[in-house]
Structure 1
Amino acid sequence: MSPRGVATPDVRERLFAAAERIVERDGPGALTSRSVTTEAGCAKGLLHAHFAGLDEFVAELCLDRFARTATRARALTELTGKGTVAGNLDAVVLALFDRGGPALSGLALTRPAAAQRFREAMEGGAPGFAAVQGAVSDYLEAERALGRVASTLDPPTVALAVVGTAHHLLMTTWPGAPDPRPAVKRLVAVLVEDAR
């Protein structure tokens, strides 16, 4: 545990990773300020020293993870012409389900103040599902130009179907439920392969 008054490096990420472990292992109901700092091995007040409270912490955690996935999605265009189209899409879309994704999404919805902060950030332009969807569409356009998917493939519609399905599964999956990733992989394979 970090002693009082000693700086904790990468505090936000350390607390975020601890929260993900708690939610994945014990469910959203186990997430408290104290459980996060205990899991992170930090001083009890550290979370409140960096966030206005647990609701702000939860909102910031969700926003951070969406931003990471959006950054990863934007990098899809660098994979144009490499690997398989389905494999490249899987890597980005399945990242939404990493590290407690479904449980974290549900957690934000059950905390009205966190949900409001998250909504305001999205309205203000923070990256979310729309950013991922746009990046997937751009990637599919580039692959279509190379002839790696059928010329009849409609990139915006396929992107909407894939990201919309991921969103649905994130909102309806809970710890202990069947793994949603195989369904997403099947959908990606069907949409991309059927169009070839």
Structure 2
Amino acid sequence: MSPRGVAMPDIKERLFAAAERVLAQEGPGALTSRAITGEAGCAKGMLHAHFAGLDEFVAELCLDRFARTATRAAELPDRAGEGAVAENLRGVALALFDSGGPAVAALAMTRPAAALRIREALESGAPGFAAIQESIAQYLAAERQLGRLPQSADTATLALAVVGTVHHLLMTGLPGAPDPREQVERLVALAAAGTGPPAGPAHTV
């Protein structure tokens, strides 16, 4: 527990990481302000000092994780020609499943105020699935230009297939369901070969 009055660096990230641990260990039903601050080792009122309430906290946690993955995806086009295409795609495609991502997304879906805040932020331009999709499409197009994907590869559709699948699995995953990473891995392998199933409509938050 930090002494009263002593500032803690990166307190929001500390609270986010603590919430992910609570979700992973005890499930969504255990996620309370008290549980989060207790896991983070900080004062009980710290969460409410930075967020209007638990709904805002959950929304900001989701948006932060989306933004992190979007930043990672934005680096992909500069990596064209380096490493294996499948490995480069895999790192981005699976990033949102790390640190309890499905549990966080499922929690947001059960909290209408949090889901609304996420939707409004994404519609206002917050980095999310659209930005990730665009970066993947640019990366695949660059790899096609370098000859590492077939010239016939429809890179825009491949990017949509990857991101749409990740989005669907993230937003519809249930506790105890099979690990979605295996499905994503298979699709990434197809995309890296320049082939893939037709992309269906992505679900929205």
Shared fold, TM over 0.5: yes
Q: Report whether the alignment pairs 1:28 with 2:28.
A: yes
- Cα distance in structure 2, aligned partners of 1:83 and 1:173: 31
Report SS of the residue matched to 1:149.
coil
Report SS of the residue matched to 1:36.
helix
Report SS of the residue matched to 2:76.
helix
Q: RMSD in angstroms over aligned alpha carbons?
A: 1.1
Report SS of the residue matched to 1:99.
helix
Instruction: For residue 140 of structure 1, report the CA deviation from its aligned partner.
Output: 0.4
Q: Deviations over 1:108-167 (max 9, x none)?
A: 111111111111101110011111000000000100000000000011100000110111
Contact 1:86 1:189 in 2 (8 A): yes
In the other structure, the counterpart of 2:61 is 61
Q: Report whether the alignment pairs 1:97 with 2:97.
A: yes
Instruction: For residue 30 of structure 1, report the CA deviation from its aligned partner.
Output: 1.1
- Cα distance in structure 1, aligned partners of 2:36 and 2:79: 37
Report SS of the residue matched to 1:161.
helix
Instruction: For residue 90 of structure 1, report the CA deviation from its aligned partner.
Output: 0.4
Query: How many residue pairs end up in the alignment?
Result: 195
Contact 2:18 2:36 in 1 (8 A): yes
Report SS of the residue matched to 2:69.
helix
In the other structure, the counterpart of 2:108 is 108
* Equivalent position amino acid for 1:97 in 2: F
* Equivalent position amino acid for 1:176 in 2: G
Report SS of the residue matched to 1:168.
helix
- Cα distance in structure 1, aligned partners of 2:6 and 2:176: 38
Instruction: For residue 171 of structure 1, report the CA deviation from its aligned partner.
Output: 1.5
- Cα distance in structure 2, aligned partners of 1:151 and 1:82: 18
Q: Deviations over 1:26-76 (max 9, x none)?
A: 111111100000000000000000111111111111111100000000000
In the other structure, the counterpart of 1:42 is 42
- Cα distance in structure 1, aligned partners of 2:52 and 2:134: 32
* Equivalent position amino acid for 2:146 in 1: L
Report SS of the residue matched to 2:6.
coil
Instruction: For residue 4 of structure 1, report the CA deviation from its aligned partner.
Output: 1.9
In the other structure, the counterpart of 1:182 is 182
In the other structure, the counterpart of 1:3 is 3
In the other structure, the counterpart of 1:169 is 169
In the other structure, the counterpart of 1:13 is 13
Q: Report whether the alignment pairs 1:86 with 2:86.
A: yes
- Cα distance in structure 1, aligned partners of 2:79 and 2:190: 20
Percentage of pairs with the same residue: 69
Greater per-residue helix proportion = 1
* Equivalent position amino acid for 1:24 in 2: A
Contact 2:155 2:194 in 1 (8 A): no
